[in-house]
Amino acid sequence: MDYTEFLKNTEDFVFAENKPEKADIIFVPGNGFPEMAEKAASLYKEGYAPYVLPSGRYSITLGKFVGVQSKKELYDGNYETEWEFLKTVLMKNGVPEEAIFREDQATFTYENAIFSRQVTDLHRLPVKKAILCCKTYHARRSLMYYRLLYPETEFLVCPACPDGITRENWRETEAGVEAVTGEIGRIIKQFCLMLGDRGKA
């Protein structure tokens, strides 16, 4: 494998993406960017799913909500949790409150998946197919965690790009390279530590 092929394989792995299809629910892992929730709202209004589940308390590293990271002029409230912020984004973009499930305890991606599973089980919602709205370069790690908690579910990744880092341009900036290589490092570290010997199968 040469360098060019290696980079192509890296892009294919990290930047998971699918065309949307009819699903049972849309998941939005917690963050301070509105673009992923805006994407979820757009898909909801187009009839792709009857429910949206934003998930998140705040960043475990900060111990508080990081704050609104873009479009602050549109979403200028005082938010205690990622869920509260994402719910506001969804409702401002046309998703009715009764279609939004609540998960406001997660502090990192794996917990987003764990606690989302608890919520859908509590609502007795069979999730045969789900849409996952996350950052472009966070797509693979998010998908891997949600698949762990929903092994019976078909996932469709429909990402958003809040910070301009895409499959096509990530190699062109230091920020893009750091974002993608950082994701690869987190995937290897987190899944090796979490799965242990199971990861050798």
Q: Is residue 132 part of a domain?
A: yes
- pLDDT beyond 80 at 45: yes
Each residue's pLDDT tens digit, 140-180? 999 999 999 999 999 999 999 999 999 999 999 999 999 99
Average pLDDT of every residue of the chain: 93
Mean pLDDT of 107-120: 96
Strand partners, 100: 52
Between strands 52-55 and 154-157, the pairing is unpaired
Q: Is residue 10 part of a domain?
A: no
pLDDT band at 62 (very low <50, low <70, confident <90, very high): confident
Q: Is residue 7 part of a domain?
A: no
Q: Is residue 56 part of a domain?
A: yes
Q: What is the pLDDT of residue 196?
A: 63
Count the domains in the chain: 1
- pLDDT beyond 70 at 201: no
Q: Is residue 23 part of a domain?
A: yes
Q: Is residue 192 part of a domain?
A: no
Point out the least confidently predicted range of 74-83, 121-130, 152-161, 192-201. 192-201
Q: Is residue 46 part of a domain?
A: yes
Share of the chain above pLDDT 70, in %: 97
Each residue's pLDDT tens digit, 64-88? 898 999 999 999 889 999 999 999 9
Structural domain boundaries, residue 81: 16-165
Q: Please give the Cα distance from 5 to 129 (Å, whole number).
A: 32
Q: What is the pLDDT of residue 3?
A: 85
Instruction: Tell me the three-class secondary structure of the chain, residue by residue.
Output: CCHHHHHHHHHHHHCCCCCCCCCCEEEEECCCCCHHHHHHHHHHHCCCCCCEEEECCCECCCCECCCCCCCCCCCCCCCCCHHHHHHHHHHHCCCCHHHECCCCCCCCHHHHHHHHHHHHHHCCCCCCEEEECCEHHHHHHHHHHHHHHCCCCEEEECCECCCCCCCCCHHHCHHHHHHHHHHHHHHHHHHHHHHHHHHHC
Q: What is the pLDDT of residue 147?
A: 96
CB atoms within 10 A of CB 47: 8
- Give the residue from 27, 23, 22 showing the smallest Cα distance to 119: 27
Q: Is residue 170 part of a domain?
A: no
Q: Please give the Cα distance from 182 to 40 (Å, whole number).
A: 25
Q: What is the CATH number of the domain that holds 34?
A: 3.40.50.620
